Homo-oligomer: A and B are copies of this chain.
């Protein structure tokens, strides 16, 4: 197994042993209370495991015996920790429930198969016996992708792939690698880098997410400009279904009809369980540089990204924070510190250069050969300077890299202080991006203002562009707001709905790299069309005729005629 489950928090983010440096920093909380228009921030701790009662497991004894016979004695578990750990993903919505001790969606058992044949056996049996199966990789879904719902069935098992973590083959000539899908990010990269290769897929969840999970939700890593999204680097897959294996061919390109690989990527466990995958790899880059640039506003920063993408400069990452995100993280870093000489000099310099409150920080990443890195950096600096940006050197890049996986750890201490923290993301063509940005920001601000627990309180809405293309880009919003403690789930639903309505009204996608899960289900039909949803239903009906796989995700239930 990749990581022993008791080493990971069951109701929060990351390592159980992680010590956050923020919880006890009353100076930070005072500053943040002020930012949010609150007199103070209450202490709102999560319930402990000992305060939780789970419903009795609903699996019949013969089913338990059968699973044990298939997988081995220790590979079917139904203790409270395992069931709680696999109950939900790690979205804000999930954490609200986990922290409140609401484990209605705990699976009746957790199964740990050791290989593709065992997955096939479990699926065939579960289908025959009408037991729902929720495929589970790292469990870091932030869209309700792994909630262990039984749907219309009497029982549900979580199928945890983490024992399926072998690197099966590296084809150095073709630059591809084949691995079992349950392998975690660090284990995969360690095995590949031992052979001077990399997949280069580093999502913020990297430490706790798996190859199969990345494929299932069409994930994007932080250097997606160089390495691509899952749909770009996936070459072929083995999908285990209740009806057997669907194997897509390992070919570079084809005109033999639609490539069924494109149905596996983004299938979110509803068509089958991604058991193995062959992916594009690259040599570990000779050089990697991450540098900071300060743009005068979001518009000029966006223009720089668009130009770089359309010139195909070969940058690895262009991450542009909007003015609010730039301001927030600068102030967060300074909170509680007496403004030192360095900070005051910096501010004076920026004022002198006529950088106002609209200034936006960009972290630009360059990877490849020394020569290629130097060349694309030089060209990007030309573009940035021509648009009035200031080069900040390599310190902001180094800081970003050092903290690249730390962001999600901030959420738990914030939730311990009566705050809500949610993120959402979308994408649109360049010509629609400005309107999309304005509409989603406005929807979030309005919905937060309407649901804060006291007059005068407000939220912080921040945004960055982190994944771009020749034809458009993604927008990633983060919002922090005072929680309505007497109706926190209803508050979240209102905010989520407002943002989602704004997104679909702009013709943008409901998700660029998080997926659909349960949370985006109400809007997926607007994006795909009724006929498109029927197509997805027909595919599911073929591969999973009983509908046991991951009930309630991706595909809306059929309305009665």
Contacts and interface: CB of A to CB of B under 8 A. Distances in A.
A242 B429 CA distance: 30
A553 B470 CA distance: 35
A217 B253 CA distance: 12
A85 B276 CA distance: 48
B541 A509 contact: no
By size class, the interface of chain A is: 35 or more
A539 B535 contact: yes
Contact of A251 (B229, B251, B428, B555): B428
Interface stretch (A38-46, A173-181, A385-393): A173-181
A244 B543 contact: no
Contacts of A255: 217-220, 266, 509, 511-516
Given A246-B529, A258-B536, A266-B258, A252 B218 contact: no
A266 B260 contact: no
A209 to B, nearest CB: 14
A310 B470 contact: no
Nearest to A379: B371
Nearest to A472: B252
A473 interface: yes
A175 B306 CA distance: 10
B539 A509 contact: no
Nearest to A504: B249
A507 B429 CA distance: 38
A241 B539 contact: no
A48 B376 CA distance: 61
Nearest to A272: B531
A508 interface: yes
B524 A171 contact: no
A256 B543 contact: no
A532 B252 contact: no
B243 A509 contact: no
A542 interface: yes
Given A252-B429, A254-B511, A246 B531 contact: yes
Interface string A222-254: 000000010100010000010111111111111
B257 A470 contact: no
Nearest to A371: B379
A474 interface: yes
A257 B267 contact: yes
A432 B268 CA distance: 31
B251 A536 contact: no
A281 to B, nearest CB: 9
Most chain B beta carbons < 10 A, residue from A175, A430, A469: A175
A12 interface: no
A175 B471 contact: yes
Nearest to A555: B257
A423 to B, nearest CB: 13
A27 B541 CA distance: 63
B527 A249 contact: yes
A111 to B, nearest CB: 23
Contacts of A534: 542
A235 B535 contact: no
A214 B53 CA distance: 59
A47 B520 CA distance: 61
A253 B235 contact: no
A509 B249 contact: yes
A372 B171 CA distance: 31
Contacts of A164: none
A144 B273 CA distance: 36
A173 B431 contact: yes
Contacts of A245: 529, 531
Given A176-B471, A245-B529, A256-B516, 13 more contacts: A175-B430, A220-B253, A253-B469, A253-B512, A254-B511, A256-B511, A256-B520, A258-B263, A258-B265, A263-B535, A280-B470, A531-B542, A535-B542
Give the top 7 A-B pairs by smallest Cβ distance, nearest first.
Answer: A252-B472, A262-B262, A254-B509, A174-B429, A218-B255, A252-B469, A538-B538
Interface of A: 171, 173-176, 217-220, 229, 231, 235, 241, 243-260, 262-263, 265-268, 280, 282, 306, 310, 312, 314, 427-432, 467-474, 507-516, 520, 524, 527-529, 531-532, 534-539, 541-543, 554-555
5 contacts: A175-B470, A251-B509, A252-B468, A252-B474, A262-B262
